[in-house]
Amino acid sequence: MDFETITYALEDGVAVITLNRPDVMNALTATMRAEITHAVIEAGQQARVVVLTGAGRAFCSGQDLGDGADASNMDLERTLRDEYGPMIRAIADCPVPVISAVNGAAAGAGANLALAADVVIASESAYFMQAFARIGLMPDAGGTYVLPRLVGSAKAMGAALFADKITAQQADDWGMIWEHVPDDVFESHWKARAAHLATGPTMAYRRIKEAMQASLGNTLEGQLTLEAKLQGKCGGTRDFQEGVVAFLDKRAAKFEGR
């Protein structure tokens, strides 16, 4: 696949999508949003894990305010509905795990793009910022959905109103992300995490995503019913058979992702 604003690499079941406009801190344009959406959908069919990361010193600085016409005249409703919405949904709907490897600044829509992933791993020097209020806007790109669910209403409201930098350490302490690691081992660490998932039980991971996404809108009874249904599907996979045999044989399982 050929792209203008991102790079795409697939190796050993891991698809790495790199936002590649380092001169502008990987700010999002209409082209980039379309390319990310397309790449995530394709990766979900080709890979067993997807990684989103950024080139250079930033993960993503958010909307490129210099993209196209005067930013103050942008049709924000249309842009969010037709461009940001499909991008965030592609990540949520991806049938394999999605990791955000946040290598630097993740601000505005860039922060919420990162937080849309199933697992967020940040470098120690990275930070997150709901920068929208600084230019008279409210969080978007799923921010008002994901933030309260990750950190609670008090932290989410403060992050949105004050638009402060949230360090990787803070984000880790708040439960906003899975983990943060020292800069000097960041790349090798997320690659090892991705490799682990790429050799795991892919169908089980798919059901985990489905169950977790449904849980906050479900009753206990509804979730128990869903768990039974999805676990029944897991039980019919070759990976489950292999997992049981490997356990009894006291060896590591060799999952095929089926």
Q: What is the pLDDT of residues 139-185, one digit of tens each?
A: 999 999 999 999 999 999 999 999 999 999 999 999 999 999 999 99
Quote the Cα angle for 250-254-258, to 5°: 130
Rounded Cα distance between 141 and 54, Å, is 18
Q: Rounded to two decimals, what is the model's pTM? A: 0.94
Q: Which two tokens stand for residue 160?
A: 């949105």
pLDDT for the residue numbered 74: 74
The CB-based long-range contact list for 129-132 (8 Å cut-off, 24+ gap) reads 129/105, 129/163, 129/164, 129/165, 129/166, 130/159, 130/160, 130/163, 131/62, 131/107, 131/163, 132/108, 132/160, 132/163
- Domain locations in the chain as residue ranges: 6-198, 202-249
pLDDT for the residue numbered 196: 96
- Condensed to tens digits (0 to 9), the pLDDT of residues 30-85 reads 999 999 999 999 999 999 999 999 999 999 999 998 876 545 667 899 999 999 99
Domain 6-198 has CATH 2.60.40.650: no
**Amino acid code (one letter) for 111:** A
Q: Report H helices in the chain.
A: 30-46, 76-79, 85-93, 109-115, 143-151, 153-162, 168-174, 186-198, 202-215, 220-235, 238-249
pLDDT for the residue numbered 172: 98
pLDDT for the residue numbered 71: 58
End-to-end CA distance of the chain: 26
DSSP 126-175: -EEE-GGGGGT----TTHHHHHHHHH-HHHHHHHHHH--EEEHHHHHHHT
Region 202-249: CATH code? 1.10.12
Q: What are phi and psi of 139, to 5 degrees?
A: -55, 140
Cβ neighbours for 98, distance < 8 A, ≥ 6 positions apart: 40, 49, 50, 51, 52, 91, 116, 117, 118, 119
pLDDT for the residue numbered 68: 61
Rounded Cα distance between 119 and 224, Å, is 24
Of the candidates 1, 40, 216, 29, the residue with the CA atom closest to the CA atom of residue 109:
29
- Give the rounded percent of residues in the chain with a pLDDT score beyond 70: 98
Helix (H/G/I), strand (E/B), else coil: 60 = strand
Distance of CA 140 to the CA centre of its chain: 15
Mean of the per-residue pLDDT values of the chain: 95
